[in-house]
Each structure stands twice: as C-alpha cells, then as structure tokens.
Amino acid sequence: MEKINQYVKSKTFNFRNLVNLYYDLSFLNRYRGDVVNELVNEIRNDSKALTALSAIQLLQALSRNSNALGHKEYMLIDLLLRNLSNMMNEFDTDQKAHIFKLIATLNLQFSPPRYRIPYMLYTLRPQLKESFDTCSEKGVLYIVQAYKYLPKEYPTDLLNEIKEMVLLTIQHSNSSIKSYFLLEFFFAVSELKKSRRFAEEKWKTLMDEVANRITHDDFMGRYTNMQKILETLYELKIHHEPTLQAVVTKITQSPEVAFYGTLYELLVAQRVDVTPMLDKVNLSLE
C-alpha cells in the first residue's frame, strides 16, 4: 500500500494505469482515497481520457464495493455517468446490459448526492427493450439480475418482456435454451422482489423444464446444482413435486449412491421420504 501511495504521489502514472490500479484495489477492499482523487482530477482535466473500456472497468470496481464507497467515489460515479451518456454509441447491447446491471448494483437511490435512480438507467431501458433479443444469454441475465437492486418504482416492462420471452422459448423451443442459462435465470428470478417474480402458473412452467433436465441433463443433474435448486425452492417456500421426484430419481439411478448431507436434509425438509435412499447408502460411522 505504501508503494501504491508513493506511485500515486509521484504522478508518473497515465490514466490507464490508474484505472487498472483502482480496479485491482477494489478486490482488496482497502483505502483507495488517493487513487480516487487522482482519477477524479484526471477526468475533470481531460474527459477524453475516459474510454468506453475504462468506464466499464471503473463501474465494475465501484459496484464491487458498493456498500463501502467514500465521498470521492460518489463524485467519480457522478462524473462517469455524465460521460457515459456521450459514449453510448460505442457499446453493443451486451455491454449496455452490463452497464445497466453495474449502475443498478450501486444502489444510488440510497446514496448522496441526489438519492435517486440515475437518469442513465431510464435512457438505457428503452434501448435495451428495443434490442434485448440480440443480447447474448449473459446479457439477458445481467438485465434480470439488475432488477434485484432497482427500487419498486422503476418500471418493470423490460423485465416482464424478458420473462415472457424466456417462458415462450421454454414452451415452444426448449432445446434452444442452454441448461446453464436456465439455471442462472431461475436463480436470478428467485432473487427478485416477490412482486417481480413469476406468478404460480409461470413458475410451474419454468420448474417443469428444470425438473425435466435434472434427470436428462448432466449439467443440471450435478449434485451441487441440485442442492442449489432445492435450497432456492426451500427459501421461496415452493413445493414442486416433479423437481423433488427428479432429484430422488437422479440419486437412486446413480451407480454409486453416496450420502450428501445437505441435499438429503433439503429433501426431508420438503417432506420427501428418504428412507429408500438411506437404505442403499453405507451408513458407516467410521
């Protein structure tokens, strides 16, 4: 840290080095004040120093420590948001979705100086709405994940359209959805506020597909993934019988029946009879 301070004081850096330094420091969650001061000064002196890539990098670093930002970091966010609006043409839809999530993660509605949702999120929403069908799976997930942080007064039309699109794809062309995406989408939706999640019937459509893949797809049928699915169902207080039965079938069909404590606990908590599975396991106390 001393060396970093010396480096910053010596003023031998260029803007790109400074952005990289701030990005790396954000992982350590240590004092970043001097670096932030220099970043603010540099952007104020010459806003052209800020490129599209460095803006995303700075937003990533800021969102990583969004619960512990200093006064100067909020000034930096303010500067970034002002400059970002001039750079929008340089970003593709995926990058816009990423920026949408990063800004939402900053929770600026709870923070000074303005205590409100940045205007940028309102300008990004129609742009994303127009072109989200060109987003990659990662881009779609970024948008859904962003809604976890957005306050209830923020319009949900974009989220609703995405949810509808995914459900329609599940119903009519389920093979075009990758299991990785389906699982992450399920987790992302489950983390939303209750009013933004699915209605019961739509949950059923999504969960039926998840259940179907547990027995037929190696990725979805991994023990860690099955455990995460059951944990999520438990937290949401959803009892989805086909998913529970799919997990039981997957465990019993596996050639080596092992004891997975948390997984069995979750099944028991959902009132599944685990006795036949326990009978197959070698319950040695050694």
Partner 1 sequence: MDPKSLTSLYAILTYIQNHKYDELEQQLLEKITSSSDLYRKGVWLSASYIKNNKTRDLILKVI
Considering the complex, state which of residue 1 and residue 269 has its C-beta at the smaller distance from partner 1. Answer: 269
Q: How far apart are CA 279 and CA 264, in angstroms?
A: 13
Residue range at the interface with partner 1 (CB under 8 A); choices 16-24, 62-70, 213-221, 276-284 = 276-284
201-207's contacts with Cβ under 8 Å and 24+ in sequence apart are: 202/163, 202/167, 203/238, 203/240, 204/240, 205/167, 205/170, 205/171, 206/166, 206/167, 206/170, 206/182, 207/233, 207/238, 207/240, 207/242, 207/243
Site residues (CB under 8 A) for partner 1, limited to 207-266? 234, 259-262, 264-266
- The nearest distance, CB 286 to partner 1, in angstroms, is 8
181 or 223, CB closer to partner 1?
223
Which C-beta is closer to partner 1: that of 121 or that of 248?
248
Residues 6 or more apart whose Cβ sits within 8 Å of residue 168: none
Residues from 27 through 56 that contact partner 1 (CB under 8 A): none
Of residues 184 and 265, the one with the C-beta less far from partner 1:
265
89 is a contact residue toward partner 1 (CB under 8 A): no
Which of 137, 140, 105, 138 is CA-nearest to residue 121? Answer: 105
* Shorter beta-carbon distance to partner 1: residue 66 or 225: 225
- Alpha-carbon gap, residue 99 to 211, rounded angstroms: 33
One residue of 14, 45, 67, 275 binding partner 1 per CB under 8 A? 275
| 269 makes contact with partner 1 (CB under 8 A) | yes
268 makes contact with partner 1 (CB under 8 A) = yes
Q: Which residues of 97-110 are buried (b: 16+ CB within 10 A; e: fewer)?
A: bbbbbbbbbbbbbe
Of 13 and 264, which CB lies nearer to partner 1 in the complex structure?
Answer: 264
Residue 192's H or E segment, with its range, is: none
The region of 37-45, 97-105, 238-246, 274-282 touching partner 1 under the rule CB under 8 A is 274-282
Neighbours of 141 (CB within 10 A): 20
Q: Which residues bind partner 1 (CB under 8 A)?
A: 234, 259-262, 264-266, 268-269, 273-275, 278, 283-286
